[in-house]
Structure 1
């Protein structure tokens, strides 16, 4: 639940960041920005980044970007099958990645590797700064030392010459060891508490089912019992217990106080785990009226703090790196097609992300922002550029410079 809530605030439809690219004169490059924005949606990059954030919540995720048959292809990789090697001088730079996992003979045949005897095989592939190396599958029963004798598959191996490994390695959250290949798991802090909560809830359900079908106790003569009172008695909800004459008859049942206490304890464990994971502990049924965007942000303060850290991991270190890798591939292969279109060589040096507000502003919020901006602009304490940027959360404009031009044109037209 915490992963789904955090990812929805990270890469959902209303939280996709605006991509800004500046020229050397610090002006916005609107043409390149429009191309990059179209490439992102043609490649369905928002959905891919959302899936990568969910998959990488356990610690890390990798995104493979490569050109296959003159077409750009993006693939998400689970890091449990990857072995990365980082540069000693720059721990953030990949120099080599080995992909290796076990497949069966039928899987190799479906993948086009040909017929192999029945059994399991190691699939191995290396990604370097200059080439992608495929190896012939080897049987699993081979010892680890025999992996040194991997046979290169020349037919599938290719030279890309990018100068970088075509993989973007994303660490989920900052870990204790900055040089570790994996980051911190999003939900690690709440696992123990939720295990206790699940066990407690299962026992509570068991007690409620027992109280719904109590055991009946009857009073009968002793001679009516076979073998006297020493007979084996079945004591469950579907059998009655027979007692000698004169004994009391009752229903063995439990009250609901234990179940209520267990549910209160479960709520406490749930709140504790959500607090440890920085999840959303606000209840929507307790809100009696529409809240402003700022009020919603304060209600979900822990969740916004978590998503703010994820924005650095999957935005600054993830999405920007993917866009830079795409532009590098287009520079190496200018005739490359992206979703059926050719964009030529893309130059994306100074690229940055502008994230939207955590929650959509209400009409009252927009009126408050407009009044504040108008007051600041009329008193001369802010420029036109700053005023437009202050109104950006409410107007969702893409380019500030183009918006200023439109405002000046409208003013000239109204004066005429």
Structure 2
């Protein structure tokens, strides 16, 4: 069924094959996969009276299982209580970078990036405007990256190229375009500039892109101001593996089964009337308690009803499909009605182990490959541009500092868990196995401590 639906989505031969693949996955994530099917689910006959097969109908029930798995994993990855904190030897550097992340709302940006990147990849653009740092998410569908030959993990160039209507270009201030035409739009990022090109007609095979000097910018950073994030290990080298690919076929089956069950319930509410010939009346037959049907001695009349057993079987089948789909993509299979009391953080981790494994893999892609890479760009940019944050001038930061991410616990600790952790940490400190600073870093996230050095100073002042 998935291949049949994909065949209804037109593929533009002017683009690489990955563009069409990412478009289909994006439609699954957005819930628009069925929009190209020609008939509604209730349309069993077309205008010519021919039967419409199910593969040509849009399901009336759309269960966004793939979207749910992505949102659950991203919530464990970058929600307010799960966003990582920076760690480095230079406390001033950490403070400046934390302020930049807060002012640029990096948490919100990374949530958006992880949602869009679930199809396989995503890019985050880094900009410095009037001394302030900004981050924005770019979908990778129409982006083409090129990596350095000598440094395969460093971008040499990224090209954005797609088709756009003349009316949209005119709304953006382009005055020499035909509003009814279709144009190519292109811009290129490299280590020295962000180069824009004048849009050119799609139907003109001899047209060449011309640099738009008014919109192009020379940034001079010495690196491409884009972070290319591959979603999960695997993929084709440009894109990583999709988070929900293994569940798409099962999700489609669930949609159609639930739509069929809903259709059956509607039939039961308004059953079809069957009259066995010979009937004695040629007038229009109206169903209802106030209209008696009169047939001949050999005639018969019945209501075609669908029993509730079939509906229950469908619901049971759908539950099984849901379990299989969630298991295939490491989704959350926990059921709220099974929780009879408050659970400890460790118990919740064990119950949602599959989802935690998924989020743990995403931490590598979007944490080390996303947040950390962006912060290294900020440090490098501070030596090129005068940066400001929270109204304060940022000095040239030390590019030699080793940045690390400290991730919080998956689930908050219960009171009993916190007591046991405090006893364990105190025992290690008293035994000389860890320092007070390391102990404080261990519990910093749980207690909302952002500046470990300042907290240690306050402890020393409070000591008798």
- Give the structure-1-normalised TM-score: 0.86
Alignment-derived partner of residue 122 in structure 1: 184
Provide structure 1 residue ranges, at least 5 long, that are not aligned to the other structure. 22-27
Give the whole-Å Cα distance in 1 for the aligned partners of 2:425 and 2:392.
Answer: 41
Residues 252 and 156 of structure 1: is their aligned pair in 2 closer, same or farther, counting only changes over 3 Å? closer
Q: Secondary structure at the match of 1:332?
A: coil
Alignment-derived partner of residue 84 in structure 2: 17
Deviations 1:99-158 (A, max 9, x none): 112222332233233232231211111111112222111111122xx46x3222223223
Q: In terms of mean alpha carbon deviation, does 395-404 or 117-126 score higher?
A: 395-404
Give the whole-Å Cα distance in 2 for the aligned partners of 1:184 and 1:61.
Answer: 12
Give the whole-Å Cα distance in 1 for the aligned partners of 2:395 and 2:74.
Answer: 33
Alignment-derived partner of residue 224 in structure 1: 280
Alignment-derived partner of residue 202 in structure 1: 259
Alignment-derived partner of residue 296 in structure 1: 348
Residues 200 and 241 of structure 1: is their aligned pair in 2 closer, same or farther, counting only changes over 3 Å? farther
State the number of aligned residues: 393
Give the whole-Å Cα distance in 1 for the aligned partners of 2:385 and 2:241.
Answer: 37
Structure 1 residue 367 corresponds to structure 2 residue 419: yes
Alignment-derived partner of residue 24 in structure 1: none
Q: Secondary structure at the match of 1:96?
A: strand
Alignment-derived partner of residue 49 in structure 1: 110
- Give the structure-2-normalised TM-score: 0.78
Question: Is contact 2:279-2:299 (8 Å) kept?
Answer: no
Alignment-derived partner of residue 211 in structure 1: 268
Residues 240 and 65 of structure 1: is their aligned pair in 2 closer, same or farther, counting only changes over 3 Å? farther
Q: In terms of mean alpha carbon deviation, does 340-349 or 317-326 score higher?
A: 340-349
Residues 241 and 354 of structure 1: is their aligned pair in 2 closer, same or farther, counting only changes over 3 Å? farther
Q: In terms of mean alpha carbon deviation, does 189-198 or 374-383 score higher?
A: 374-383
Whose RCO is larger (CA < 8 A, sep 6+)? 1
Residue of 142, 146, 151 corresponding to 2:204: 142
Give the whole-Å Cα distance in 2 for the aligned partners of 1:338 and 1:403.
Answer: 23
Give the whole-Å Cα distance in 2 for the aligned partners of 1:196 and 1:210.
Answer: 21
Deviation of 1:188 (Å): 0.7
Instruction: Let me know the Cα RMSD of the aligned residues.
Output: 2.7
Give the whole-Å Cα distance in 1 for the aligned partners of 2:407 and 2:293.
Answer: 69
Give the whole-Å Cα distance in 2 for the aligned partners of 1:293 and 1:191.
Answer: 31
Give the whole-Å Cα distance in 2 for the aligned partners of 1:165 and 1:258.
Answer: 59
Alignment-derived partner of residue 25 in structure 1: none
Question: Is contact 1:172-1:310 (8 Å) kept?
Answer: yes
Larger radius of gyration: 1
Give the whole-Å Cα distance in 1 for the aligned partners of 2:187 and 2:442.
Answer: 49
Write the mapping of 1:181-260 to structure 2, written as runs, cut at 5 A: 181-216=238-273, 222=278, 224-226=280-282, 243-247=295-299, 249-260=301-312
